[in-house]
């Protein structure tokens, strides 16, 4: 379960509700309600499944970050 980090939105989403993609600053999904970027981290499960965990703020994108 993810919670939109836009506090005025605060919508909750299942993984199946969102599209996770990399826009160049790390994996994220756009809140289907308000469009806010919500960053996630990917984990590989022991059974080969892919898991995502929401992270605070945005990841360190390195020296190319604007």
x-marked contacts with Zn ion along 3-42 as a string, rule CB under 5 A: -x-x--x-x-------------------x-xx-x------
What residues are paired with 60 via a beta bridge?
none
Compute the least distance from the CB of residue 60 to Zn ion, in Å. Answer: 23
**DSSP secondary-structure letter at 39?**
E
The span from the CA of 60 to the CA of 39, in Å, is: 11
Q: Are 41 and 55 in contact (CB under 8 A)?
A: yes
Residue (26 or 31) nearer to Zn ion, CB:
31
Interface residue list for Zn ion (CB under 5 A): 4, 6, 9, 11, 31, 33-34, 36
């Amino acid at each position: 379960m993810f919670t939109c980090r836009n506090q005025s939105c605060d919508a909750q989403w299942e993984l199946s509700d969102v599209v996770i993609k990399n826009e160049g600053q790390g994996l994220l999904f756009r809140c289907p309600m308000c469009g806010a970027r919500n960053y996630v981290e990917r984990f590989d499960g022991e059974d080969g499944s892919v898991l995502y965990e929401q992270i605070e703020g945005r990841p360190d994108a390195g020296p190319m970050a604007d």
